[in-house]
Structure 1
Amino acid sequence: MHCYGHENVIRAAAVEPNVNMRKLGKYLTEDLNKDNNILWTDSLAMIPGHGGERGKFDIVILGYVLQEVANQKSRLMIVQALWNRLKDGGVFIVVEPGSPKGFRYVHSLREWALAKPREEASIVGPCPHHGTCPMAKNPDVWCHFSQLTQ
């Protein structure tokens, strides 16, 4: 897979436990995957190179996952497992719906990241500061915004 004309080959590992969503993902990425650079699997543990530098990624995207997980402990276990697969200097992206529940999930991960040493985690969005979120204090208020994507 090539990204916007760059000559560097991008390899991706896509983890989707639902077989029907995995089939849809494979179908949608078929044209991008002519060189078999996208590995689709149902489990993070099934990705080759588990551990060591070959098992690490430049970017980890956690998209619409947290709302599917039953409890906070399990959510944090998933996030930690993915964080452990991130290369030093890598980017960890969390996308959740712009809803009160989605905000609470993202906020809890923000607090989790802020508890790490500063050289380990920097927040760049939605708020780039490293302070306490003023909106999180009021359960009736939640942060949300629209972001166009292509």
Structure 2
Amino acid sequence: MTIVTAPLAGRAIGLEAVPDPVFAGAMVGPGTAIDPVREPSVAVSPVDGVVVSLHPHAFVVVDPDGHGVLTHLGIDTVQLNGEGFELHVNKGDTVQRGQAVISWDPAAVEAAGKSPVCPVVALEAAPEALSAVVADGDVKTGDALFSWEKA
């Protein structure tokens, strides 16, 4: 079983509250979302693993069980063309849970007219594979967000 932890601090709101139909409908996969604190912060890896996809606004880490976890920093933030985001790792790097991946400023994202809400998604997972999903309440970086049963 994989425990997926919060890549940043804020308030858990659940995927259905994400202002994007693809995430809200769990079309990418099940999980939860965090409405982040509005201050410059660092998004960290939610699991131990390898960075298989890395963009200024999003990253995927695949753990040793083959579980891919997507952290998406804000909604429609790809339109910011990387402005305001700083990468701390490279695609292909092995990372540890809690390791810095991307620095960003949720308040600046909001000021640019984008939602800073951050989906944290279990890619290609069946909804029933997830348990103990945190969909409300305050979370700190590193708090457990959900458990993912090994396939």
Tell me which protein shows more strand as a share of its residues.
2
Mark yes or no: TM-score above 0.5. Answer: no
TM-score (norm 2): 0.25
Tell me which protein shows more helix as a share of its residues.
1
The structure whose RCO (Cα within 8 Å, separation 6+) is larger is 2
